């Protein structure tokens, strides 16, 4: 196991995943931001499943947790760019996508990969 990069108290398994929340911490339709290493990751729970994205807007780096989640549409508070919170795909504009992180649920904990998924890889 390498040196943990997450804040103290985080459990850092040796596979690059960081425990960010208890499995029952978010309600369906909620989102929350967590520090994962040096980056902020946005965790979204929809239809009982978790998705994780880089926590900053691809437009001008405003924290996405300050935005709104309406159904599966995540909207940045700053200039109202919106994204599909299931896939990270851009809704408006369509060309701007969120950077996804892999998520696992294990032993009652939600774990997020510190390393983003490649842009071409499917969300699950
Ligand atoms: S910073 Fe998010 S829409 Fe401009």
Q: CATH code at 29?
A: 2.102.10.10
pLDDT above 50 (res 9): no
Ligand 1 centroid vs 56 CA: distance in angstroms? 9
Q: Is the pLDDT of residue 93 over 60?
A: yes
Residue 83 lies in a domain: no
* Structural domain includes residue 47: yes
How many angstroms does the Cα of residue 113 sit away from the middle of ligand 1?
24
Nearest CA to ligand 1 atom 4: 79
Q: What percent of the chain has pLDDT over 90?
A: 78
86 within domain boundaries? no
Q: What's the mean pLDDT in 44-58? A: 97
The pTM of this model reads 0.85
Is the CB of 66 within 6 Å of ligand 1?
A: no
Domain-embedded: residue 87: no
124 to 52, 65, 101, 102, 116: CA distances (angstroms): 11, 22, 10, 8, 13
**Atom 1 in ligand 1: residue holding the nearest Cα:** 60
| Domain that residue 103 falls in | 8-66+99-116
Distances (CA, A) of 33 to 2, 36, 41, 89, 102: 24, 9, 6, 19, 15
Q: How confident is the model at residue 5 (pLDDT cuts 50, 70, 90)?
A: very low
Instruction: Say how many domains are in the chain.
Output: 1
Mean pLDDT to the nearest integer, 81-87: 98
What average pLDDT does the chain have? 88
Encoded tokens for 76: 């940045």
Expressed in angstroms and rounded, the spacing between residue 73 Cα and the centre of ligand 1 is 14
Residues 17-44 pLDDT 10s: 999 999 999 999 999 999 998 889 999 9
């Amino acid at each position: 196991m390498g040196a943990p990069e997450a804040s103290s108290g985080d459990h850092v398994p040796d596979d690059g995943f960081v425990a960010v929340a208890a499995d029952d911490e978010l309600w369906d339709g909620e989102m929350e931001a967590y520090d994962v290493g040096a980056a902020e990751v946005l965790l979204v729970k929809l239809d009982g499943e978790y998705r994780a994205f880089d926590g900053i807007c691809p437009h001008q780096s405003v924290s996405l947790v300050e935005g709104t989640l309406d159904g599966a549409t995540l909207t940045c508070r700053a200039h109202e760019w919106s994204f599909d919170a299931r896939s990270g795909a851009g809704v408006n504009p369509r060309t701007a996508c969120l950077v996804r992180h892999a998520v696992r649920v294990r032993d009652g904990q939600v774990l997020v990969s510190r390393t983003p998924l490649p842009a071409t890889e499917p969300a699950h």
